[in-house]
Amino acid sequence: MAKALRFGSTQSYVAIWFCVLFWQVQCQILTPYEDLSPYPSYYSTGGDFTFPVGDTVIYTEGSIMTISWDSSYTSVNLYDVYLHNISVDAVIDGKAQSQVQLATGYTGNSFKWAVSCNPNCDAPFVLHVVNAQGNSSDLLGGGFWSIYFWVAPANSASSTSSSASQTSASSATSSQSRSTTAASASATKSGSGGDPGGWSNKGTTIGVGVGVGVGVALVLIAGGLFFWRSHHRKTHHAYNSPSATVPSDPGASMQWSGMYPSHPPQEMSGVPGHEIPKPVEVPAYRDPYELPTTQDR
């Protein structure tokens, strides 16, 4: 790891300062499978990885990872490094890490790795390429590094795969059900013979039926309004008719109309109210006589 210190102790202190500054990303003990930094883990020289790159990836133990890189080295040594934490000072001091060599003196620029999380699967991994023809410092801490990634145990992956399979099966069943429903609806539209004209004829029939139904409804509504208005008119006329409001008794009628003042019936003077005077027969001839002279008052 001495090559990592070629910029001197000042660079080490700067690295530690950046570590403290970005504590939540680079200096904490990580919970398995949480998101990691999408950038290369450490300062690199001589090349760069082209895979793995980007967002955090969780690989299943036993799966095949195709590692690739671009480098100026003629041959390389490839390592996967298990980190107990991702603090810069721990890597510089060579503490809390274990390293497995995957290839020695390799001349290609890609390598297939059957992923393993031995000795542990609860911390992130990085890949490290060094110059196979370099000096001891180059072999120990030179070269370039990949992004961080996780490796999940096979039993955990099996459980995850089972759950994913059940979800996929459920989605497939739901999709099949939707497809069947859509097919049924399509068959209904197209008709038993599959003739496009049949669908047009059905549309015409439905349109005519709807038109007739609307017409009948309008007629019924108009008839109802007419009947209601007629009934309302009759009721209003009966209410305003004099026969409905004026009493049958003439006296009462006069009192009601205000034509005469209200007085109780009285007898005529000298004649009972219930008797009618009889006619008096006048003789056919009578001697003339002088009427008394009236005096002016």
**Mean pLDDT, the chain, as a whole number?**
66
pLDDT classification of 172: cutoffs 50, 70, 90: very low
Mean pLDDT value of segment 139-155: 88
Are 284 and 295 within 8 A, CB to CB? no
Domain hosting 149: range is 2-157
Q: How many domains does the chain have?
A: 1
Most confident of 2-11, 38-47, 108-117: 108-117
Residue 183 placed within a domain = no
If you write DSSP's letter for every residue of the chain in order, what string do you get? -GGGGTT-HHHHHHHHHHHHHTHHHHTSPPPTT----SS-SS---SEEEEES-SS--EEETT-EEEEEEEES-SSEEEEEEEES---HHHHHTT-SEEEEEEEEEE-SSEEEEE----S-SSS-EEEEEEETTS-HHHHHH-SEE---BEEE-HHHHHHHHHHHHHHHHHHHHHHHHHHHHHHHHHHHHH-TT--HHHHHHHHHHHHHHHHHHHHHHHHHHHHHHHHHHHHHHHHHHHHH-HHHHS-SSHHHHHHHHTSS------PPTTS-TT--PPP-PPPS-----PPPPP---
Residue 275 placed within a domain = no
Nearest Cα to 146, choosing from 181, 102, 189, 185?
102
- pLDDT, residue 173, reads 44
The CA distance from 88 to 18, in Å, is 9
For residues 69 and 267, the model is more confident at 69
- pLDDT, residue 127, reads 92
The pTM of this model reads 0.43
Residue 202 placed within a domain = no
Nearest Cα to 145, choosing from 160, 124, 166?
124
- pLDDT of residue 114 exceeding 60: yes
Sheet containing strand 64-71, strands side by side: 47-51, 64-71, 110-114
- pLDDT of residue 89 exceeding 80: no
Residue 89 placed within a domain = yes
The CATH number that applies at residue 42 is 2.60.40.2840
Residue 129 placed within a domain = yes
pLDDT tens digit sequence for 285-296: 666 666 666 666
Are 128 and 145 within 8 A, CB to CB? yes
Distances (CA, A) of 48 to 64, 110, 157: 20, 12, 30
Q: Is 143 left (phi over 0), alpha (psi -120 to 50) or beta?
A: left
Residue 54 placed within a domain = yes
pLDDT classification of 141: cutoffs 50, 70, 90: confident
| Residue 32, burial from CB neighbour count under 10 angstroms (0-12, 13-18, 19+) | middle
Least confident of 52-56, 123-127, 269-273: 269-273
Mean pLDDT value of segment 122-135: 90
Residue 126 placed within a domain = yes
Most confident of 78-92, 128-142, 217-231, 271-285: 128-142
Are 32 and 56 within 8 A, CB to CB? no
- pLDDT of residue 6 exceeding 90: no
Cβ neighbours of 88 (radius 10 Å)? 21
pLDDT classification of 136: cutoffs 50, 70, 90: confident
- pLDDT, residue 69, reads 97
pLDDT classification of 34: cutoffs 50, 70, 90: confident
Mean pLDDT value of segment 46-68: 93
Mean pLDDT value of segment 228-245: 60
Amino acid at residue number 131 = N
- pLDDT, residue 81, reads 85
Mean pLDDT value of segment 165-183: 45
- pLDDT of residue 162 exceeding 80: no
**Residue 7 has which token pair?**
């910029």
Mean pLDDT value of segment 7-32: 47
- pLDDT of residue 29 exceeding 90: no
Residue 197 placed within a domain = no
